[in-house]
Amino acid sequence: MANIIDGKAVSAQVKEDIRLETEKLKEQGIEIGLAVVIVGNDPASQVYVRNKEKACETVGFNSYKYALPEETTEEELLALVDKLNKDDKVDGILVQLPLPKHLDDKVIINNILPEKDVDAFHPVNVGKIMIGEYSFLPCTPAGVMELIKSTGTEIAGKNCVVIGRSNIVGKPQAMLLLHQNGTVTICHSKTKDLKKVCSEADILVVAVGKPKIIDADYIKEGAVVIDVGMDRDENGKLCGDVDFESCKEKAGFITPVPGGVGPMTIAMLMKNTLTAAKMHKGLLAEAPKDEPDTKERTAWNKVMLHT
């Protein structure tokens, strides 16, 4: 039986550290605010937004929720983004994706001030991730890194396989693993012999979006298996991209769904909001830099803790 990675517990620890720091800032008269914008009535998005508001409450941030109707125009949404960009109480802005079809995610994201872009989706922040200069951590990949760290697994020199190449998870995930000196392979729908590639992975991150497509045949004995999937099985029950029951004996460590990566995504969003606030208030002059070749693991810790 593999060790099950408890994402809820790790996220609770991250949030507790943030709560303590937020409390100290409050004593100096500094409050932290996150604006959460949701357009339309997608039920999953509503759950995610609620999770984010709850997390704000847990760590002591002010959250400002803007629930806009499905018919909101690009002009109206951009006007709100502009207002939030200028609002001094708002340190971070989060626009819940996906947006309704008539709105272009890219146009909206490009109009969020990079220094308030706590999802790290703005091209400026994406570029910084590429060069290992993290103003903001990409939330889900950074959460995955924390979960790997919690297992005590060294990343340097390991075979790391990421399945999925999205801009939100797969691509930035590969970068973070690379910056920790992993030997990284990105797989996708055109990859030949996925099973063979995966079965050589010491660390396997699955972000495909298809229920239980990875079973024990894909897993190397003792591997760290991280499941980013948020899918529904044939009975409509929440499950991941990894067939947990099939893999749990063979993997060394494995994340469950729910209770694995999901809570970490939220915790990392809180961490980014704290960073945004500190930058905004002039408490953090420069973005932390990651220089993996010289500083290796300690660099990651520094980046994560913004020390």
Q: Read off the amino acid at residue 123.
A: P
DSSP assignment, residue 216? Answer: G
Coil, helix or strand for 165?
coil
Would you say 46 or 181 has its CB closer to ligand BQF? Answer: 46
Of 15, 116, 117, 119, which residue is the catalytic one? 119
Report, in Å, the least distance between residue 93 CB and ligand BQF.
14
Report, in Å, the least distance between residue 193 CB and ligand BQF.
28
Does the active-site annotation cover 96? yes
Does the active-site annotation cover 302? no
Does the active-site annotation cover 210? no
Q: Read off the amino acid at residue 102.
A: H
Q: State the Cα–Cα distance between residues 304 and 307, nearest whole angstrom.
A: 8
Report, in Å, the least distance between residue 192 CB and ligand BQF.
27
Report, in Å, the least distance between residue 108 CB and ligand BQF.
15
Strand order in the sheet with 159-163: 3-4, 253-254, 224-227, 203-206, 159-163, 183-187
Query: Cβ(246)–Cβ(225) under 8 Å?
Result: no
Would you say 205 or 266 has its CB closer to ligand BQF? Answer: 266
Q: State the Cα–Cα distance between residues 22 and 32, nearest whole angstrom.
A: 8
Binding site for ligand BQF (CB under 6 A): 48, 51, 230, 258-259, 262-263, 265-266
Q: State the Cα–Cα distance between residues 74 and 108, nearest whole angstrom.
A: 8
Q: State the Cα–Cα distance between residues 76 and 220, nearest whole angstrom.
A: 50
Coil, helix or strand for 92?
strand
Would you say 12 or 130 has its CB closer to ligand BQF? Answer: 12
Query: Cβ(153)–Cβ(181) under 8 Å?
Result: no
Place of tokens 């995504």: 265
Q: Which residue is nearest to ligand BQF (CB)?
A: 262
Report, in Å, the least distance between residue 257 CB and ligand BQF.
6
Of 96, 116, 158, 241, which residue is the catalytic one? 96
- Of residues 52, 82, 80, 55, the one with CA closest to residue 66: 80
Report, in Å, the least distance between residue 68 CB and ligand BQF.
16
CA angle 158, 164, 168 (to 5 degrees): 100
The set of catalytic residues is 52, 96, 119
